[in-house]
């Protein structure tokens, strides 16, 4: 008769058991949720991705140079005397950004003086083959290699120049590019300094 006391103390009442089951379920669900959020957590280190991107941009610049420029301008930007001007220590490379972007977007032909030598060839336009980012990557690459140490060029700067010169159909001449009107980044007053 009075064993019911000892009976109820030996086995847990229903709500404790139920609660325990709920707790277990909660832990299980919690683990699931944690697993579920894991892939999202991987995408959160945008800093890593951004750092990776800037590394990739430098890689991209080198790759573009090797595949699209080196055949003429040679390894290390040495050029070919009399035919293809060098890309080391030239004002066209290290000087005004807007002028370099224009030249790469639309090409250049006619006489151009580079480091005291006159060349008279044709460089094809790259604006069709390369996106803003590609033009930015390769121009930044040539400005920071071959002994050059000029500032980077961004895709935004290329986009601004591309938009401002979109009516341009033929290659520039050096003469045209010496004019202030064909230099600088539109809307950016600091970019015209040489
Ligand atoms: C088909 C050959 C050829 C290719 C490929 C070529 N260029 Fe040129 N580049 C020239 C020639 C030729 C000139 C000089 C144009 C002239 O005589 O009017 C020149 C001029 C230049 C100049 C200005 C002069 C200087 O030496 O500083 C730069 C900068 C330049 N090229 C960069 C590039 C970059 C960057 C690429 C790759 C995206 C490239 N070129 C691909 C032939 C080429």
Residues 111-145 pLDDT 10s: 999 999 999 999 999 999 999 999 999 999 999 99
CATH number of the domain within which 103 lies = 1.10.760.10
> Is 190 part of any domain?
no
> Measured on CA atoms in the order 168, 173, 175, 179, is the torsion positive or negative?
positive
Q: Which atom of ligand 1 is nearest to the CA of 79?
A: 26
Model confidence at 8, pLDDT cuts 50, 70, 90, reads very low
What is the rounded distance in angstroms from the CA atom of residue 110 to the CA atom of residue 122?
7
Q: What is the pTM of this model?
A: 0.76
pLDDT value at 49 more than 90:
no
Q: Which atom of ligand 1 is nearest to the CA of 120?
A: 17
pLDDT of residue 58: 81
**Which of 50, 58, 43 shows the shortest CA–CA distance to 144?**
58
> Is 17 part of any domain?
no
Give residue ranges with CB within 6 A of ligand 1. 68-69, 71-73, 84-87, 90, 92-93, 100, 103-104, 108-110, 112, 114, 119-124, 126, 138, 142
> Is 106 part of any domain?
yes
Q: How many CB atoms lie within 10 A of CB 151?
A: 11
Model confidence at 45, pLDDT cuts 50, 70, 90, reads very low
What is the rounded distance in angstroms from the CA atom of residue 178 to the CA atom of residue 170?
17
> Is 13 part of any domain?
no
Residue 191 DSSP code: G
Query: What DSSP line would sit under 42-69, residue for residue?
Result: HH--HHHHHHHHHHHHHHHHHHHIIIII
What is the rounded distance in angstroms from the CA atom of residue 178 to the CA atom of residue 122?
17
pLDDT value at 59 more than 70:
yes
Residue 168, domain extent: 50-184
Going from the Cα of 69 to the center of ligand 1, the distance in angstroms, rounded, reads 7
Model confidence at 37, pLDDT cuts 50, 70, 90, reads very low
Over range 80-99, report the average pLDDT. 98
Query: How much of the chain exceeds pLDDT 90, in percent?
Result: 66
Going from the Cα of 109 to the center of ligand 1, the distance in angstroms, rounded, reads 9
Going from the Cα of 119 to the center of ligand 1, the distance in angstroms, rounded, reads 10
Going from the Cα of 77 to the center of ligand 1, the distance in angstroms, rounded, reads 10
Q: How many structural domains comprise the chain?
A: 1
Over range 169-184, report the average pLDDT. 97
> Is 116 part of any domain?
yes
> Is 15 part of any domain?
no
> Is 14 part of any domain?
no
Q: Which atom of ligand 1 is nearest to the CA of 64?
A: 38
Model confidence at 179, pLDDT cuts 50, 70, 90, reads very high
> Is 29 part of any domain?
no
Q: Which atom of ligand 1 is nearest to the CA of 110?
A: 18
pLDDT value at 21 more than 60:
no
pLDDT of residue 128: 97
Query: How much of the chain exceeds pLDDT 70, in percent?
Result: 69
Tokens of 34: 């944690």
Going from the Cα of 156 to the center of ligand 1, the distance in angstroms, rounded, reads 22
């Amino acid at each position: 008769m009075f064993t019911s006391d000892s009976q109820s103390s030996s086995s847990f009442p229903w709500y404790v058991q139920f609660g325990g089951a709920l707790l277990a379920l909660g832990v299980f669900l919690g683990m699931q949720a944690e697993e579920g959020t894991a892939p999202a957590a991987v995408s959160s280190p945008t800093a890593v991705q951004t750092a990776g991107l800037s590394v990739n941009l430098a890689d991209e610049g080198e790759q573009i140079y090797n595949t699209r420029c080196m055949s003429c301008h040679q390894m290390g930007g040495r050029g070919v005397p009399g035919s293809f001007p060098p890309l080391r220590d030239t004002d066209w490379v290290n000087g005004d950004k807007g002028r370099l972007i224009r030249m790469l977007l639309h090409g250049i032909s006619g006489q151009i003086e580079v480091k005291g030598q006159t060349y008279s060839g044709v460089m094809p336009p790259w604006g069709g083959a390369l996106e803003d980012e590609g033009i930015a990557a390769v121009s930044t690459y040539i400005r920071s290699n071959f002994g050059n140490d000029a500032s980077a060029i961004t895709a935004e700067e290329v986009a601004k120049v591309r938009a401002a010169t979109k009516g341009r159909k033929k290659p520039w001449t050096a003469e045209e590019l010496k004019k202030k009107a064909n230099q600088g980044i539109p809307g950016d007053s600091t970019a015209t300094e040489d």
